[in-house]
Amino acid sequence: MKPMPTSTPKSTTVLSREEVAKIYRRPLLELVFEAAQIHRAHHENYDVQCSSLLNIKSGSCPEDCTYCSQSAHNDTSLESEPLMELDAVVRAAKNAQKNGADRFCMGAAWRGVADNKEFDQVIDMVKEVKSLGLETCATLGLMNEEQAHKLKEAGLDYYNHNLDTSRDYYDKVITTRTYDDRLDTLSAVRAAGLKTCCGGILGLGESEDDRINLLHELHSLETVPESVPINALVPIEGTPLETTEPLAWDQMVRCVATARILMPQSKVRLSAGRKSMTDEGQTLCFLAGANSIFLGDKLLTTDNATVTDDTQLFDKLGLKPIVSACETTFTV
């Protein structure tokens, strides 16, 4: 077994934006080949971490994200639901663990964390999920350092807060918070000793230059994220992006491969949008260094590949899900 790093230090050399662009635009097979070599130097070749994502509070979010069914600004069919009860979250975590997940993520449709009873309930959720032997992650919106410390003390391992897209394209996607708001939350999370889960969403109408700029931004953070989710837009009826054309498959592969080269020790998570990808497209992403997926039919509110589909693909490729401390197995 290769020793896994306890943190993800910044590379001694931060590449320029132009250097990142040259990597991204290499001939695709050459790019994937280099990414595969780097992946194998830092990770077990066939291991894939399987995560589960639970929407613990849905709908009525005040943010105006153009891609999101949970935004109060978008006229979608999603019904608003209150924060889940602790027992229901624990049952969902146990079920995810039974089905092969060793990482459990909890997401709430909030603009940010408030110091109230609901945040105390989330703290209890983190404690209980952590006690099951699962790696824990939460995405709750904007947060300050004191709140991040409370989550750390409760046993949270990762905080997810994506940049979504490039700085230049950001105001085409969301106007109710700034790019620097996101960076400030990442700084607070890092100061509290939490690991960061930070990536973006592809196919929002951005250009290839914007995708390159996003990857360069992630690579240039003071400490690169230990977890880098690469999402493809899932168009949702009632959102401004409902008629957006699907992202070209090679762009997904290029982003995964470039992320692996720029952030060799990070988990690169092939996240939303897998349901619309072919087995062949996912295979190239795994070859290029993706080593984490989300299990389950839903990712928050969007459709995801089924466990059956994932089991069959893993069998074809010889991939092995990382088994949790409780010795669960990857089953249908």
- Catalytic: which of 182, 190, 260, 269? 269
Long-range pairs for 170-174: beta carbons < 8 A, 24 or more residues apart: 172/66, 172/204, 172/205, 172/206, 173/65, 173/66, 173/67, 173/204, 174/63, 174/64, 174/65, 174/66
- Catalytic: which of 50, 65, 198, 285? 65
- The beta strand positions in 233-300, using DSSP E, are 267-270, 292-295, 298-299
- Catalytic: which of 68, 198, 255, 285? 68
- Catalytic: which of 50, 103, 137, 177? 137
Rounded CA-CA distance 50/295 in Å is 6
105 is catalytic: yes
Rounded CA-CA distance 206/255 in Å is 13
Beta-ladder partners of 58: 81
Rounded CA-CA distance 212/20 in Å is 7
68 is catalytic: yes
285 is catalytic: no
Report yes or no: 10 and 218 within 8 Å, Cβ to Cβ: no
In order, the DSSP letters of 27-88 are -HHHHHHHHHHHHHHHS-TTEEEEEEEEEEEBS-BS---TT-TTBTTS--SPPPBPPPPHHH
- Catalytic: which of 17, 50, 91, 105? 105
In order, the DSSP letters of 189-247 are HHHTT-EEE--EEE-SS--HHHHHHHHHHHHHSSS--SEEEEEE----TTSTTTTPPPP
Report which of 107, 104, 102 is spatially closest to residue 49, judged by C-alpha positions: 102
Rounded CA-CA distance 33/292 in Å is 19
198 is catalytic: no
- Catalytic: which of 50, 61, 255, 285? 61
Active site residues: 61, 65, 68, 105, 137, 197, 269
